[in-house]
Chain A
């Protein structure tokens, strides 16, 4: 088997031809550089636009991902993390009737006004209220600090909140006691947690339900915005969701954790222009790239028309020469993609440090951009090939 594979590779190697496409490109370094710069530019544009788009959608669920839960309960009126409606807490207690439900945790969730302790300006902050004894987060660092929240008026501040909330973490690390106002009530920052800003909220804080209810005096104590339900190990969340739907009346919505994240992403995708804007941006990059590659390949074919005609006169077939143009397109795609990929990685790192958005190079997007560049280059090559039809071997004498 191996020897046959080797033999066929050897056969291919023996019958190889002069790499005309490669030589056509590399013997004109200036034109190649312009082409690669154009393709790389288009690639970077696509990487950035799609990266921002996916990063923003991903950022909308940074908090959602942190919850230690299998199934969630929401109000049917809840549209997104910035529009959380409340529902009776007893619905969550009812779920304990299901044999697979192991534990439940009520969570309050709202946007409150935070006063910057330094500048004295206010800003919306996402506030979560929960029972401090209840470990609702996957991150053990949060659960270990949760007992501090048993003190009334104490909160944990998200150190990855945007700087507009004030130098809270810097002050705290210097050993200063940080106190400020939330919704007009005095609170004390007891510690720092790491959650990350999301789309709807520039900053987060977590606190006990008791403190939460003090900050939100109009909120009925029996109501919650989110119910976390943990199942037995190995249980199927989808099956549990359909059982709980039958068990509960229609005034609550039951979702898996993934469904909860999807609800949020869908909100930002469909109710805002974000998806459209960034997809359009990526499309612009694609079009710009097409124009550049087409221009380059078309003028390359035009410049070499007498040479192509000579090859046809020598007995080379037109399909073979079309293949040369196609290979030029393929080479341009590969050579142009590499710098775009590297620059994309660098720019993503820059965006992450600058905006704290979770913009990462995931393989799916890397593949998508490569396919777009490939389509761009091969499509342009296909259009440039039409010029090759003008090569008339009878005209070269």
Chain B
């Protein structure tokens, strides 16, 4: 069991280090602040859950940390690299080190489960086709879908699709995993399975996890629980 690092003491191994992050949408009179002076640090191997009412800025934080959006003010360091002022190309390179799991599974409809996972493995440099394919199969077995390699997303259930998405995210060997309500579309049992799997695999890889969720049944997988309200981030006491 890894001990979560205290929030105010950022070790150099921190996957994410956010300081004074503020973000606005719109311009002029219509401008609206969605993030206010957010401070956040997540160490490698740490699982952090983020909750809060909808519209409070959770997803915006996720897209900023995921290098999908330009940082406007404050500092976001990913694996030691500063995102404030980073260009398109730099952000794209950083994204290769981040796994993302979406509310909808966002699998490619025209690819089989195995090919979808391989799209993740294909991002790894210097590996032959066969090695990448074998890795994809390995990951699908790890998420318990060894028997569904050749199925199209269309033929898989919601939980199975979400597990394929997890395998795809992990196949690129990310150092940070961002998940946005991965259990929203699942029933409680498969939701539980997916989260447990995510936690176990992330732990094995030493991969930091930042997961946005509304699901009260899965809060216990977190090392740390954060709550966001009106663009501000608060630590929440874990009752476990």
The answer to whether B109 and A315 touch across the interface, beta carbons within 8 angstroms, is no
Chain A residue contacts of B218, Cβ below 8 A? none
Chain B residue contacts of A393, Cβ below 8 A? 68, 95
The answer to whether B115 and A313 touch across the interface, beta carbons within 8 angstroms, is no
Q: Taking CB as reference atom, which chain B residue is nearest A27?
A: B110
The answer to whether A312 and B59 touch across the interface, beta carbons within 8 angstroms, is no
Given contacts A314-B119, A397-B103, 10 further A-B contacts (CB under 8 A): A14-B129, A18-B115, A18-B118, A20-B108, A311-B119, A313-B66, A393-B68, A394-B69, A397-B100, A397-B180
The answer to whether B129 and A314 touch across the interface, beta carbons within 8 angstroms, is no
Q: Taking CB as reference atom, which chain B residue is nearest A308?
A: B108
Chain B residue contacts of A28, Cβ below 8 A? 110
Interface assignment of B123: CB less than 8 Å from any CB of chain A: yes
Residue of B66, B69, B103, B129 near A16 (CB, 8 A) is B129
Q: Which residues of B contact A (CB under 8 A)?
A: 59, 62-63, 66, 68-69, 92-93, 95-98, 100, 102-103, 106, 108-111, 115, 118-120, 122-123, 128-130, 152, 168, 172, 180
Query: In the complex, which residues 252-305 of chain A have their Cβ closer than 8 Å to any Cβ of chain B?
Result: 304
The answer to whether B92 and A312 touch across the interface, beta carbons within 8 angstroms, is yes
The answer to whether A310 and B123 touch across the interface, beta carbons within 8 angstroms, is no
| Pairs A–B under 8 Å by Cβ, sample size 24 | A14-B129, A17-B122, A18-B119, A20-B119, A23-B115, A27-B109, A304-B108, A307-B106, A307-B108, A307-B109, A311-B119, A312-B92, A313-B66, A313-B95, A314-B120, A315-B92, A315-B96, A315-B123, A317-B92, A393-B95, A394-B63, A394-B69, A397-B102, A397-B180
The residue in B92, B108, B111, B128 that gathers the most chain A C-beta atoms within 10 A of its C-beta is: B108
**Lowest 7 A-B CB distances belong to which pairs?**
A315-B96, A27-B110, A14-B128, A315-B95, A394-B68, A310-B106, A394-B69
Q: Taking CB as reference atom, which chain A residue is nearest B93?
A: A315
Contact with B along A8-45 (1 / 0, CB 8 A): 00000111111010011001100000000000000000
CA distance A317 to B97 in the complex (A): 14
Q: How large is the interface on A (under 10, 10 to 19, 20 to 34, 35 or more residues)?
A: 20 to 34
Chain B residue contacts of A304, Cβ below 8 A? 108-109
The answer to whether B111 and A310 touch across the interface, beta carbons within 8 angstroms, is no
The residue in A15, A27, A310, A314 that gathers the most chain B C-beta atoms within 10 A of its C-beta is: A314
Chain B residue contacts of A14, Cβ below 8 A? 128-130
Contact (A24, B110) CB under 8 Å given A313-B66, A315-B95, A317-B92: yes
In the assembled complex, how far is the CB of residue A153 from the closest CB belonging to chain B, in whole angstroms? Answer: 77
Interface assignment of A396: CB less than 8 Å from any CB of chain B: yes
Interface assignment of A167: CB less than 8 Å from any CB of chain B: no
Q: Taking CB as reference atom, which chain B residue is nearest A11?
A: B128
Interface assignment of A171: CB less than 8 Å from any CB of chain B: no
A-B residue pair count with CB separations less than 8 angstroms: 77
Chain A residue contacts of B69, Cβ below 8 A? 394
Q: Taking CB as reference atom, which chain B residue is nearest A316?
A: B123
The answer to whether A313 and B68 touch across the interface, beta carbons within 8 angstroms, is yes
CA distance A20 to B108 in the complex (A): 10
Chain B residue contacts of A313, Cβ below 8 A? 66, 68, 95, 100
Chain B residue contacts of A15, Cβ below 8 A? 128-129
Residue of B63, B111, B115, B120 near A397 (CB, 8 A) is B63
CA distance A397 to B61 in the complex (A): 11
The answer to whether A314 and B110 touch across the interface, beta carbons within 8 angstroms, is no
Chain B residue contacts of A311, Cβ below 8 A? 108, 119
Query: In the complex, which residues 339-397 of chain A have their Cβ closer than 8 Å to any Cβ of chain B?
Result: 393-394, 396-397
The answer to whether A397 and B59 touch across the interface, beta carbons within 8 angstroms, is yes
Chain A residue contacts of B172, Cβ below 8 A? 314-315
Q: Taking CB as reference atom, which chain B residue is nearest A19?
A: B115
Q: Taking CB as reference atom, which chain A residue is nearest B70?
A: A394
Interface assignment of A166: CB less than 8 Å from any CB of chain B: no
CA distance A311 to B106 in the complex (A): 9
The residue in A14, A311, A316, A394 that gathers the most chain B C-beta atoms within 10 A of its C-beta is: A394
The answer to whether A18 and B128 touch across the interface, beta carbons within 8 angstroms, is no
Q: Taking CB as reference atom, which chain B residue is nearest A315?
A: B96
In the assembled complex, how far is the CB of residue B22 from the closest CB belonging to chain A, in whole angstroms? Answer: 17
Q: Taking CB as reference atom, which chain B residue is nearest A307?
A: B108
In the assembled complex, how far is the CB of residue A235 from the closest CB belonging to chain B, in whole angstroms? Answer: 63
The answer to whether A314 and B123 touch across the interface, beta carbons within 8 angstroms, is yes
Q: Taking CB as reference atom, which chain A residue is nearest B97?
A: A315
Chain A residue contacts of B118, Cβ below 8 A? 18
Residue of B92, B106, B110 near A396 (CB, 8 A) is B106
CA distance A15 to B66 in the complex (A): 28
In the assembled complex, how far is the CB of residue A313 from the closest CB belonging to chain B, in whole angstroms? Answer: 5
CA distance A315 to B89 in the complex (A): 10
In the assembled complex, how far is the CB of residue B180 from the closest CB belonging to chain A, in whole angstroms? Answer: 5
